[in-house]
Amino acid sequence: MKISLRETAAKLSAAQKIIITAHTNPDGDAIGSSLGLMHFLQELGKQAQVLIDDDIPAIFDMLPGYEHIGKPEEGQTIDADLLVALDVSLDRIGKVGDVVKAPVLNIDHHITNDDAADMLYLDGTCAATAEIIYQLVKEMKGAFTKECAMCLYTGLATDSGWFRYSNTTPATMRAGAELLAAGVEPNIISEGLERRPYESVKGLADALQHMELFQEGRVVGVFLDNATLETIESSEGLVDMIRTIEGTELAVVLKEKEKDFCRVSMRSKGLDVTKIATQFGGGGHVRAAGCAIQKPFPEAKAELLAAIRTAMEQQA
């Protein structure tokens, strides 16, 4: 059931013991909005804890409260007044949904949210769920501590591509400005998140040796078969690196993770890549989507390139 921002604020005010969760494979917005809300609720004297059913990447260890993020355990039961699920539909919170016994308040900015929670506050105009939490703090006449602001700023910055993507609005920038005024050190956040092990940068350089152009330079791709992938230490962030190449409209990375199992990531500058991803059972956003193809490497590569060619012809 959809509720308003004011009703969302009232639900939080009325609750004393609150568990906060977000999606598995958590990103900057999932972690930042969760910790930001936790700090705010704790300031109000409430018992608030973040519980996420996944490992939290170490690049987030500069965020206040990082070390207190818990993981649900099989068979465990936690009674609470409210379970707040952030940046997610309920199908992606893992075991938290079974472990925590409480009504679910869902707060999200994904327009694809399935509206399955007891209560849902959705605002698709916000660049990040952290931007909604910012508004919620304002609605509740709260103040931003430095700890809370650092976390919310991380969510805003990462989901908006450091205030560069098309979802960045004047409201996003104003929220960012106010969080900076509350003491955020933006360089601590960006330097923390940009950290990469030596092996990772070396791996990217190795993977880039396999870069190719297709469709008269409109498509750039890196296709790594299993044997090649085994020699590469890490190829994390590859698709975001090649998507910047001038003249390209679509970037694609295919990795043969196991024999006959290929993972695909795509980024576009306009073409709806969900149309390609869904043909292979995947999904995502208009400009960023992915899928898995359970075929041998040469076939997977050929079929994917054919699907891309068709999608580009249909667009023209």
Q: Which is nearer to Mn ion, 153 or 280 (CB)?
A: 153
Q: Within 23-42, which residues bind Mn ion (CB under 5 A)?
A: 29
Tell me if 290 sits within 8 A of 284, measured CB to CB.
Answer: yes
Task: Point out which span in 71-79, 95-103, 157-165, 228-236 binds Mn ion (CB under 5 A).
Answer: 157-165
CB within 8 Å of 151: residues ≥ 6 apart? 31, 32, 33, 34, 35, 36, 39, 63, 64, 65, 130
Closest approach of Mn ion to the CB of residue 29, in Å: 3
Residues found in the chain: 316
The alpha carbon dihedral of 303, 307, 310, 316 has a sign of: negative
Closest approach of Mn ion to the CB of residue 207, in Å: 27
Binding mask 71-90 for Mn ion (x = CB under 5 A): ----------------x---
Tell me if 108 contacts Mn ion by CB under 5 A.
Answer: no
Among 53, 131, 147, 159, binds Mn ion (CB under 5 A): 159
Q: Within 129-148, which residues bind Mn ion (CB under 5 A)?
A: 129
What is the C-alpha separation between 29 and 9, in angstroms, rounded?
A: 20
- According to DSSP, residue 51 is labeled B
In sequence order, the β-bridge partners of residue 83 are: 19, 104
H/E segment holding residue 108: strand 104-108
Q: Which is nearer to Mn ion, 88 or 207 (CB)?
A: 88
Closest approach of Mn ion to the CB of residue 109, in Å: 6
The alpha carbon dihedral of 269, 270, 276, 277 has a sign of: positive
User: What tokens were used for 106?
Assistant: 């869902």
Closest approach of Mn ion to the CB of residue 166, in Å: 14
Task: Point out which span in 11-19, 96-104, 124-132, 190-198 binds Mn ion (CB under 5 A).
Answer: 124-132
Task: Point out which span in 44-52, 121-129, 176-184, 194-202 binds Mn ion (CB under 5 A).
Answer: 121-129
Closest approach of Mn ion to the CB of residue 129, in Å: 5
Residues in the site for Mn ion, rule: CB under 5 A? 29, 87, 128-129, 159
